[in-house]
């Protein structure tokens, strides 16, 4: 790699490329550290939220407020992430955190559905704007290059919520709550109807949304079992 | 909007419809843009390949391109320009990196052609800064497309394959390796190709220099590093093909009758034309 005059390679060409690659690796390392922290925090949030499967409606608020406290910590980490990420074009390193931001989004959606974040009753869907507000980041940004929550992340998190609710429908019955499966059935159907108006390409979102119909069926089976035995609550 | 309390009412439409309709509009816009970019990338790739074909018919180094080459490549250059103009607006600001994977193929192939042409004309490597500037200027009216350092490097890797073909074809048709100095087509028996003067540059010494530079690059980890690894192996094979061809030329060249020319038809097929003559 001599850079003398009689050389094909102009001086400094590969040296400056090496610098670019090294800088790039340093950014990736810094991001990885933050993302790992986020991952750890979200695991603990998920562990808290999974207590909902064995908690009666009356005790649910305690689970929810504990999860919400966890999520507040995650939001701080997202703030850190956004600070580092904002120094670079958003989509350049977006792959490094998109899955984890999606997981946090899912935690927030589930917590909100269970009555967290000021939702007075169970069964509410936090909108993408709500989630962005909780995370403290803008959503679906199109005109400037800043850290934000994307539509894809929100929608993928929403499919995770439906997976979890299908499980919750069964476990509610076990806990003797025969009203909640009805609520989940309606919610799942409504979200399913929404996904059906989307024109999805052959991507991750398509794959995940294809699974929704099975969740609809699962929950309907629970409702069917209850109605067969006359266990559905009378309105 | 999200009232779930009307269980028994059996509402015909989901309360989430307005939200999803908004999402649909956004996603449609995204997919349309993505497809436009993929198509442009393919067209840029195809046009760049055709440019390379033309360039491979050139037999001189360190000279401006002959008129016929410029003329026949004009249409492909125009295609590239118009394709870039058609999508450069889709690749600005936030979208530069959002769709970088979709445009990357075209960028790499363009880089390969530009780098090869630059070598033929100047016998030097087209630097990243110069390449990026050149690429940006292809979009006369708009703000251009960014050439990433990654695409530059992958284009350079591919260019070594073109240099290999160029070197071997030249050897097979003229009986010697072209020297970047251009004018020194001296001896008639082709014996001097590389061995005679060690300091003298040839396409092979340039290839070796490039190989050494590429081999000592530390590309880190990730998908890009994996691409580099694959292309590095191909590049090494290319250099060795030229070395083998040269070996054949040197060791058997003396037995070659004066004025003997290998079959032109074999010329493109790697080192075979050279080996047949023994």
Helix (H, G, I), strand (E, B) or coil at A148: coil
Predicted local distance difference test score (pLDDT) of residue B100: 95
* Residue A203, number of CB atoms within 10 A of its CB: 11
Where a domain ends, among B147, B172, B207? B147
Smallest Cβ–Cβ distance between A91 and the set B98, B180, B213 belongs to: B98
pLDDT above 60 for A197: yes
Say if B94 falls within a structural domain: yes
Q: What is the pLDDT of residue A66?
A: 97
Q: Is residue B9 part of a domain?
A: no
Find, in chain B, the residue whose alpha carbon is nearest to that of A21. B219
pLDDT reading at B187 higher than 60: no
Q: Model confidence over A128-149: pLDDT tens digits? A: 999 999 999 999 999 899 999 9
pLDDT band of residue B220 (cuts 50, 70, 90) is confident
Residue B33 sits in the same domain as residue B124: yes
Helices then strands, counting H and E runs in chain A, come out as: 9, 0
User: Mean pLDDT in chain B?
Assistant: 84
Name, in order, each residue with C-beta under 8 angstroms of A92's C-beta and a sequence gap of 6 or more. Answer: B97, B100
Assess whether pLDDT exceeds 90 at residue B262.
no
Q: Quick one: what percent of chain B has pLDDT higher than 90?
A: 67
A150-184 pLDDT per residue, tens:
999 999 999 999 999 999 999 999 999 999 999 99
* Percentage of chain B exceeding pLDDT 70: 79
**Res A93: pLDDT:** 94
Q: Is residue B2 part of a domain?
A: no
- Here the CATH number for the domain that contains residue B47 is 1.20.58.190
Contacts 24+ apart (CB under 8 A), A101-104: A101/A38, A101/A149, A101/A153, A102/A153, A102/A156, A102/A157, A102/A160, A103/A39, A103/A42, A103/A46, A103/A157, A103/A160, A104/A38, A104/A42, A104/A71, A104/A74, A104/A78, A104/A135
Give A197's contacts in chain B (Cβ within 8 Å).
17, 20-21, 24
With a pLDDT cut of 90, the percent of chain A lying above it is: 93
User: Do B154 and B263 fall into the same domain?
Assistant: yes
Residue B163 lies in domain: 148-278
Query: Collapsing DSSP states into helix, strand and coil, what is residue A144?
Result: coil
- The answer to whether position B8 is within a domain reads no
Q: B126 and B174 share a domain?
A: no
Domain count, chain B: 2
List alpha helices for A86-211, DSSP H: 90-93, 98-113, 128-135, 151-174, 180-196, 204-210
Structure confidence at residue B270 (pLDDT): 42
Task: Check CB contact under 8 Å for A155 and B212.
Answer: no
pLDDT tens, B106-146? 999 999 999 999 999 999 999 999 999 999 999 999 999 99
**Do A155 and A206 contact (CB within 8 A), yes or no?**
no
Residue B79 lies in a domain: yes
Does residue B115 share a domain with residue B32? yes
- B275: in domain: yes
Q: Does B16 touch chain A (CB under 8 A)?
A: yes
Please indicate, yes or no, whether residues B143 and B154 belong to a single structural domain of this protein.
Answer: no
Query: Which residue carries 């409606």 as its tokens?
Result: A57
**Residue A192: band (very low, low, confident or very high) from pLDDT cuts 50, 70, 90:** very high
B18-64: pLDDT as tens digits: 999 999 999 999 999 999 999 999 999 999 999 999 999 998 899 99
Whether residues B65 and B153 fall in one domain: no
Paired strand residues for A185: none
Predicted local distance difference test score (pLDDT) of residue B259: 57
Query: Is residue B273 in a domain?
Result: yes
> Got the DSSP string for B170-191?
HHHHHSSPPPTT-S----SSST
B27 Cβ contact list (under 8 Å, min separation 6): A151, A198, A199, A200
Whether B189 and B245 map to the same domain: the answer is yes
Residue B173 domain flag:
yes
Domain match, B48 and B110 both: yes
Residue A139, helix vs strand vs coil: strand
At residue B178 the predicted structure's pLDDT band, cuts being 50, 70 and 90, is confident
Region B159-172 average pLDDT: 93
**Predicted confidence (pLDDT) at residue B189 exceeds the cutoff of 70:** no
Q: What is the mean pLDDT of chain A?
A: 94
The ipTM (two decimal places) reads 0.92
Q: What's the burial of B152, exposed, middle or buried (CB within 10 Å: 0-12/13-18/19+)?
A: buried
Both B102 and B171 in one domain: the answer is no
Which structure tokens are listed for B207? 């290839």
Which of B147, B179, B201 is the C-terminal boundary of a domain? B147
What's the whole-number mean pLDDT along residues A53-65?
95
Distance from CA of B23 to the nearest CA of A (A): 7
Where is pLDDT greater, at A4 or B114? B114
Task: Indicate whether B24 and B140 sit together in one domain.
Answer: yes
Selecting from A9, A21, A123 the residue whose C-beta is nearest the C-beta of B125 gives A9
Instruction: Choose the final residue of a domain: B147, B173, B194.
Output: B147
Same-domain pairing of B190 and B222: yes
Q: According to the model, what pLDDT value does residue B268 have?
A: 44
Could you tell me the domains of chain A?
A: 12-149 (1.20.58.190), 153-235 (1.20.58.200)
Nearest CB to B209 within list A8, A89, A144:
A8
The band of B261, judged by pLDDT with boundaries at 50, 70 and 90, is low
State residue B126's pLDDT score.
97
CA–CA separation, A31 and B57 (whole Å) = 48
Which of A8, A17, A88 to mutate against chain B (most B CBs within 10 Å)? Answer: A8
Q: B88 and B176: one domain?
A: no
Interface contact flag, B27 A16, Cβ < 8 Å:
no
- Show which of residues 107-126 on chain B sit within 8 Å of chain A, judged by CB atoms: 119, 123-125
pLDDT at B172: 83
- What separation in angstroms does the CA of A223 have from each of A193, A226, A232? 19, 5, 8
């Amino acid at each position: 790699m001599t850079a003398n005059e009689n050389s094909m390679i102009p001086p400094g060409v590969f040296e400056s490329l090496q610098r670019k690659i090294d800088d790039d690796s340093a950014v990736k390392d810094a991001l990885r550290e933050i993302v790992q922290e986020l991952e750890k925090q979200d695991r603990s949030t998920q562990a808290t939220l999974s207590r909902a499967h064995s908690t009666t409606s009356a005790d649910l608020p305690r689970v929810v407020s504990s999860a919400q406290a966890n999520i507040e910590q995650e939001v701080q980490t997202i703030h850190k992430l956004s600070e580092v990420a904002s120094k670079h074009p958003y989509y350049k390193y977006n792959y490094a955190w998109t899955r984890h931001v999606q997981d946090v989004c899912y935690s927030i959606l589930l917590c909100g559905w269970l009555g967290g974040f000021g939702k007075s009753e169970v069964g509410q869907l936090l909108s993408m704007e709500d989630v962005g507000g909780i995370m403290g980041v803008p959503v679906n940004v199109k005109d400037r290059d800043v850290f934000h929550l994307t539509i894809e992340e929100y929608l993928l998190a929403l499919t995770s919520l439906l997976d979890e609710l299908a499980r919750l429908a069964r476990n509610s019955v076990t806990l003797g709550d025969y009203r909640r499966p009805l609520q989940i059935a309606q919610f799942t159907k409504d979200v399913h109807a929404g996904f059906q108006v989307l024109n999805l390409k052959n991507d991750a979102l398509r794959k995940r949304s294809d699974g929704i119909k099975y969740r609809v069926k699962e929950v309907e089976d629970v409702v069917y079992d209850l109605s067969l035995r006359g266990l559905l609550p009378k309105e | 909007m999200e009232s779930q309390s009307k269980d028994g009412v059996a509402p015909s439409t989901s309360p989430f419809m307005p939200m999803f309709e908004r999402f649909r509009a956004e996603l449609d816009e995204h997919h349309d843009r993505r497809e436009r970019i993929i198509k442009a990338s393919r067209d840029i790739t195809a046009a760049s390949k055709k440019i390379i074909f033309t360039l491979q018919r050139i037999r001189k180094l360190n000279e401006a391109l002959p008129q016929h080459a410029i003329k026949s490549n004009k249409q492909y250059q125009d295609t590239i320009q118009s394709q870039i103009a058609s999508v450069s607006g889709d690749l600005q600001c936030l979208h530069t990196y959002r769709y970088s994977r979709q445009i990357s193929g075209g960028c790499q192939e363009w880089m390969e052609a530009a780098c090869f042409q630059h070598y033929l004309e100047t016998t030097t490597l087209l630097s990243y800064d110069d390449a990026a500037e050149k690429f940006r200027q292809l979009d006369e009216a708009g703000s251009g497309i960014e050439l990433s350092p990654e695409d530059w490097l992958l284009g350079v890797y591919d260019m070594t394959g073109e240099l290999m073909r160029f070197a071997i074809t030249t050897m097979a048709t003229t009986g010697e390796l072209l020297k970047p100095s251009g004018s020194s087509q001296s001896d008639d028996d082709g014996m001097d190709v590389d061995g005679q003067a060690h300091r003298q540059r040839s396409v092979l010494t340039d290839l070796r220099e490039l190989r050494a530079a590429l081999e000592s690059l530390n590309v880190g980890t990730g998908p890009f590093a994996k691409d580099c690894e694959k292309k590095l192996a191909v590049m090494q094979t290319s250099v060795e093909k030229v070395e083998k061809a040269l070996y054949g030329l040197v060791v058997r060249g003396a037995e070659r009758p004066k004025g003997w020319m290998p079959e032109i038809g074999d010329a493109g097929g790697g080192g075979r034309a050279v080996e047949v003559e023994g």
